[in-house]
Amino acid sequence: MEVDIEKTETHTICRPKGELDAYTVTTFREALLQIAEEPRLVVDLAEVPFMDSAGLGALIGGIRRARDNEAAIAVACSRVALLRLLHTTGFDRIVPVRKNLEDAIAALDEASG
């Protein structure tokens, strides 16, 4: 598991790469902690083939910390299995989940709007 962080003038993108599970979640959790104070955050799950409850818990915890700092947050996810997980757990009702990065960034604009 590795996590890339990209900062632009308008937003910060967190890109985990690899499976997000109990064995790899620490790296992801630490990355989310580093960017918790960014005002506009997108988590791009395009390169995450699998996420278990530990990965989902880390994602929710990171989003909670960012929201405590009044950040706008969105998730980009095109993988059917992950979308099903995010929908089944109700995650997509608390955070905008879009199928690609461009739409997730647009959702930040709507949230800030």
First to last CA, the chain: 34
CB atoms within 10 A of CB 46: 15
Handedness of CA 37, 85, 28, 50 (dihedral sign): negative
With beta carbons less than 8 A apart as the criterion, state whether 54 and 20 touch.
Answer: yes
Q: What pTM was estimated for this model as a whole? A: 0.94
Report the percent of the chain where pLDDT is more than 70: 97
pLDDT digit string (tens) for 64-95?
Answer: 999 999 999 999 999 999 999 999 999 999 99
Domain 2-112: which topology? Transcription Regulator spoIIAA (3.30.750)
With beta carbons less than 8 A apart as the criterion, state whether 64 and 35 touch.
Answer: no
Structure confidence at residue 112 as a pLDDT band (50, 70, 90): low
Q: How far is CA 106 from CA 11, 84, 109, in A?
A: 11, 22, 5
Mean pLDDT of the chain: 94
Structure confidence at residue 110 as a pLDDT band (50, 70, 90): confident
Distance CA 9, CA 75 (A): 18
